[in-house]
Amino acid sequence: MSRYDLTDSEWRVIEPLLPNKPRGVPRVDDRRVLNGIFWVLRSGAPWRDLPERYGPRTTCYNRFVRWRKAGVWDRLMDAVTKAHDGKVQMIDTSIVRVHQQGATGKKGDRNHCLGRSRGGLTTKIHALVDAKGRPIKLMLTAGQMSDIASAAADLITELPEGAMLLADKGYDANALRNAVTERRAWANIPPKANRKDPICFSAFLYKARNLVERFFNKAKQFRRIATRYDKLAENYLAALKLVSVRIWLRDNESSCNLWLLPSGLG
């Protein structure tokens, strides 16, 4: 068993959420295929370098793309994230470099979420996480897009009443604060230096915002997230959602193991 493979407890959660195929030719073992997909995401290796123990590389890649188009990965993340703690939510962004292999997609009207700057091509990940730093919503934009204008409003559409939104001063804008207030929630965002009107801000509560930074650190341990090799933004976002599911499962598994510790060791 590779260290990148799903554990038994992780598989018990994922298996019931996968598509059921009662008729026709049985498909290749789902767990083996998923392990192959996670091996590629974690190692950052090309699909053609997939070890033989995971079966044909075309099977793993085609299953990844086909289930992305069918919305399987979206439904999997929605199901896993239903248990999120929404009382405190945090929003932030992280920029990833686009490898030259990811910049060779067909040009046209399609949005590949590629931004050009002095450092080259980049893609920006927008994330909303819960009080434990677990991802709830994810979006992609081109790297040069504004944090607020491009995705912030869409990420907080389901912010519950009475919740607190934590964000850095890059999100200090009246439009975002008003959007949070309309949902009867509170935006705890440090003011910019040029803000003239006073606002309510708690530096003590703001300390918890580091949890969203920890999420990005965990996600970028998967090398195909730390660097974008995918030509299509849809494939890169699907990979990010699969990694987010893994982060959720690992967090839940750690919590269960903590409860199993002898008294006094937790």
116 lies in the same domain as 161: yes
> In CATH, what number is assigned to the domain containing residue 218?
3.30.420
pLDDT at residue 1, rounded to an integer: 64
pTM confidence score: 0.90
* Residue 173 within a domain: yes
**Binning pLDDT at 50, 70 and 90, where does residue 263 land?**
very low
80 domain residue, yes or no: no
| Same-domain status, 32 and 101 | no
138 and 192 co-located in one domain: yes
Residue 24 confidence (pLDDT) above 80: no
Of the pLDDT bands very low, low, confident and very high (cuts 50, 70, 90), residue 264 is very low
Least confident range of 151-165, 223-237, 252-266 = 252-266
User: 181: domain range?
Assistant: 86-229
Which has more confidence, 257 or 181? 181
pLDDT on residue 116: 83
**Greater model confidence, 193 or 26:** 193
Q: Give the HSE-up count for residue 13: Cα atoms under 13 Å, Cβ half-sphere.
A: 18
For range 204-216, the mean pLDDT: 94
CA–CA distance from 180 to each of 96, 151, 163, 189 (Å)? 28, 14, 9, 11
Residue 260: inside a domain: no
**Span 71-86, mean pLDDT?**
93
Q: What are the CA-CA distances from residue 20 to residues 24, 30, 74, 249 (Å)?
A: 11, 11, 16, 21
Q: What is the mean pLDDT of the chain?
A: 89
Residue 240 pLDDT exceeds 70: yes
Other beta carbons within 10 Å of 221: 11
For residue 264, being part of any structural domain is answered with no
Q: Which DSSP letter does residue 161 get?
A: T
